[in-house]
Amino acid sequence: MTIRNRWFLLFAGLISLAMVATVACGGGTSSADKTATAGAGSGGAKTPASGSPTTGGADMAPADQQKMIMQLGEPQFYDPHRSNFEQDIAVERFLFRGLYNLTDDGKGGVKVVPEMAAGDPTISGNDYTVKLKPGLKWSDGKPLVAADFVYGFQRECDGKVASPYQGLLGAGLGELKGCDELFGNKDEAQTQALTDALGVKAPDDTTLVFTLNKKVATFTTIWSLWATFPSRKDVIAQFGDKWTDPANIVVNGPFTLTEIVAKDHATLKPNPNWGGQKPALQQITIKFIDDLSAAFRAFQNNELQMTQILATDSTVAKENSSLKPQLQVIPSARISTVEVQMKDPVLGANGAADDAVKKAFNLRLALSHAIDRKTLVDAVYDGVHTPATYWLVKGLTGYQGSQAFDSKIGFDKAAAQKALVDAGYPGGAGLPAITIIYRDSPERRNEADFLVKAWKDIGINVTPQFVDSKARSAAFNSEQFQLFQGGWQLDYPDAENPLVGLFDTGGGNNHYNCSRPDVDAAFKDAASATTQEARLKAYQTVETDIVTNLCGIIPLYQDALPYMVSSKLGGVVANGTIDAGGPGTFCVECWFIKK
C-alpha cells in the first residue's frame, strides 16, 4: 500500500477520535493521536534539556514536598519486552523511553515527537536511518548507544523471550526485516545467523539503520511503543530474569526503580542521568491496589494523589463539592470483554471434528445472547460505560457499532436457550463445569455476579475465580483459563492495532487461540491493500468474522475510565486513547506537587 493512502486512513480516524473524545470530555483535553506518519515530529515540541525546570513554576511546592502516591495493579513484569498489560506498561513508561514518544499536542490530542532520537528518520527506499541525541546515558552513567537499541529489537524478535508484542514489529505492522523469521526459529544452530540478519544495525554509536520489508507510514508511532525500548546486554547477561530487580535494573527513562514490596508497593526515584526534562517529583510510590473502593477511600483520606475508582464511586464524587473538581471521567478507546479459550474442548474445540466445533460455537453464542449489556452497564457501572457488541471502538475509522452485531450476538434470552439446545446441552443438562477469571475487586465481583446469574438463568453454571492483577496477567499469558474478564485498550488509533496480533493464527497476543482461515486471509488482504478503502474493508471483515463467531471474545461494553487526581497534583494531561495505565499522558516528568 502507499504511504499516502495509509496515512489518509489513519488521519481520518484520528480526527474522528479526537472529536469524540473532546465532546465527551466536555471540551477538556483528550488524547487522539493526530500525527503518526514517518515524518511526525517536525516542528513539534522539543524535549527540554537536562536540568531544565519542570512545568509548574511559581505554583510548584519545594523539592522536599515533591512526593506522590498513586494506585496501580501489581505488574507481572518490569521488562518492556515481555509485557502486555497496562499496569506493567505504565511503570515501564516511567523507567524507559524509546526513539519516539507520544505527547500532548496542546489541541486536544497527542502527537509523535522524538525522544531518544535526534529527529525524524531519513528514508531511502525501505531503509530508515535514525540518529540518536548526543550524550545519552543509562541510569548507571554508562553511555546509551545505538547498539543498546539493536539489542532491544533483537530481544523483541527473539522467540525465547516470547514477547506478546512481537507482532507489532512483524509482517503487517512494523515490517522489520527478519523479525518474524527470528521469532519463529526452532533451530538453535540458526539463531545467530537470523539475529545477525535482523533489519536493524548500528553503524556507529549514534546511528541506527532499520531495513523494513516495505515502507511503514506509522513508523514513528510504532517505534514509540514499549516493544521498541532499548536493553542493556551486559546487565541481562549477568542477572538473567532478575535484571529488573531494583538492585540490578538500569533504565533510560526519567525515573528508576528503587524498591519492590510484593503485593504492596514499588518506589521510584529520579534517574540522575536522565537527559530530558528534569522531574520535579523526587519520589513516586505506586501502591498495588486492586480494590478500587479501598483506593477511593484512601484518596479521600489523602493517602493517594491519583487513583482509578469504581464507576459507582464516580457518582459519589460528582455529588461531593470537594471531590467533583478532582474527578476525571475519561472516554476510553477500550472494549471490555469476556474472553474465551478456544483450545478448551467445550468452549472452543479448536482442531476437533466439525460437529464439536459447531457445538462449541453454539455454547459461546448462548453465553453472549444471555447477557443484557445495557442492564449490566446501568446496574453495575451506573451507566458510565457504553454497551457494546462490537470490537473496533467508537470514534475509530472502521467503527461498525452495535447495530452491525446486536441481532447476531446481542441479548436475546430465547435465542440463548435455543443456542444451548443446539450446543447439545438443553437447559444446561450435561454441561461440564466452566470457570471465569476476574481481578478481585468489588466492582468486578458485582460484574461477575451479574454474568453468573444471567448465565444460570438459561442453565449455564459458571464459577468465578477472583485473583490479584499479577495472577490474572499470568493466567492469561499462560493460557490457563476457560473464560477471562479482559479487553483491549488501543495502543495507537488505527484499526490494525486491536486486530493484528490478536486474532491472526499464532499472533503474539492471541492467547485465546482464535484461528480462522477467513480471518488470516483478510489480514493478508489488508497487508497487500493499495487503497485505504480496501484496507479498511479487510479489517472490517476481520471484525465481523471474529465477533459473529465469538472467536476468543464476547464484547460487553466500551469503557469510560473514572479517576481521581488530587488538586495538589499538577502537570497531568487527560489521556484515554493510549495505554498509559492512568489518566495522564506518558509525561510523568511533567507531574509536580503544587504549593
Cβ within 8 Å of residue 486, ≥6 positions away:
336, 337, 338, 339, 476
CB 208, CB 149: distance < 8 Å: yes
C-alpha radius of gyration, the chain, whole number? 23
Q: What is the pLDDT of residues 163-177, one digit of tens each?
A: 988 988 998 889 999
Task: Return the pLDDT at 576.
Answer: 61
The H or E element spanning position 564 is strand 553-565
In order of 257, 268, 469, the CA distances from 246 in angstroms are 5, 10, 20
What DSSP string runs through 168-204?
GTSTTTT-BTTHHHHHT---GGGHHHHHHHSSEEEEE
Say if residue 421's pLDDT is above 50. Answer: yes
Q: Fill in the amino acid letter for 84.
A: N
Q: What is the mean pLDDT of residues 504-510?
A: 91
Would you say the C-alpha torsion 164, 584, 67, 263 has a positive or negative sign?
A: negative
What backbone phi and psi angles, to 5 degrees, belong to 9? Answer: -65, -45
Cβ within 8 Å of residue 588, ≥6 positions away:
93, 94, 254, 255, 279, 281, 284
Higher pLDDT, 257 or 332: 257
Mean confidence (pLDDT) of the chain:
88
Task: Return the pLDDT at 466.
Answer: 97
Task: Return the pLDDT at 104.
Answer: 72
Task: Return the pLDDT at 33.
Answer: 28
Q: What is the pLDDT of residues 249-290, one digit of tens each?
A: 999 999 999 999 999 999 999 999 999 999 999 999 999 999
User: Which of 398, 399, 381, 401 lies closest to 389, judged by CA?
Assistant: 401
Higher pLDDT, 543 or 573: 543
HEC assignment per residue over 498-546: CCCCCCCCCCCCCCCCCCCHHHHHHHHHHHHCCCHHHHHHHHHHHHHHH
Would you say the C-alpha torsion 216, 222, 223, 224 has a positive or negative sign?
A: positive
Would you say the C-alpha torsion 329, 331, 333, 334 has a positive or negative sign?
A: positive
d(CA 70, CA 292): 12
C-alpha cell at 562: 473514572
In order of 20, 379, 398, the CA distances from 331 in angstroms are 8, 19, 18
d(CA 350, CA 33): 37
CB 24, CB 556: distance < 8 Å: no
Q: How far is CA 249 from the centre of its chain?
A: 23
Task: Return the pLDDT at 380.
Answer: 94
Say if residue 109's pLDDT is above 80. Answer: no
Count other C-beta atoms under 10 Å from residue 327's C-beta: 18
CB 218, CB 82: distance < 8 Å: no
In a 10 Å sphere around its CB, with 0-12 CB exposed, 13-18 middle and 19+ buried, how is residue 368 labelled?
A: buried
The H or E element spanning position 243 is none
Residues linked to residue 570 through DSSP beta bridges, in sequence order: 592
Cβ within 8 Å of residue 204, ≥6 positions away:
146
d(CA 17, CA 274): 33
Counted residue by residue, the chain has a size of 595
Torsion of Cα atoms, 376 then 381 then 384 then 386, to 10°:
-20
d(CA 64, CA 68): 11
Say if residue 515's pLDDT is above 70. Answer: yes
The H or E element spanning position 73 is none
Higher pLDDT, 550 or 112: 550
Q: What is the pLDDT of residues 23-47, one digit of tens each?
A: 222 222 222 222 222 222 222 333 3
3-state secondary structure of 572: coil
What DSSP string runs through 139-152?
TTS-B--HHHHHHH
**Which has the minimum average pLDDT: 39-53, 141-155, 466-480, 550-564?**
39-53
Looking at mean pLDDT, say which of 110-119, 343-352, 355-364 comes out highest.
355-364
Say if residue 11's pLDDT is above 80. Answer: no
Say if residue 65's pLDDT is above 70. Answer: yes
Q: Fill in the amino acid letter for 396.
A: L
Say if residue 580's pLDDT is above 80. Answer: no
**Which has the minimum average pLDDT: 18-32, 301-315, 381-395?**
18-32
d(CA 389, CA 410): 7
What backbone phi and psi angles, to 5 degrees, belong to 94? Answer: -75, -30
d(CA 463, CA 27): 43
In order of 18, 292, 584, the CA distances from 23 in angstroms are 9, 27, 18
CB 74, CB 470: distance < 8 Å: yes
Task: Return the pLDDT at 490.
Answer: 84
In order of 154, 240, 331, 397, 546, the CA distances from 160 in angstroms are 11, 13, 37, 36, 29
Task: Return the pLDDT at 30.
Answer: 25
Q: Are strands 283-288 and 67-72 parallel, antiparallel or unpaired?
A: parallel
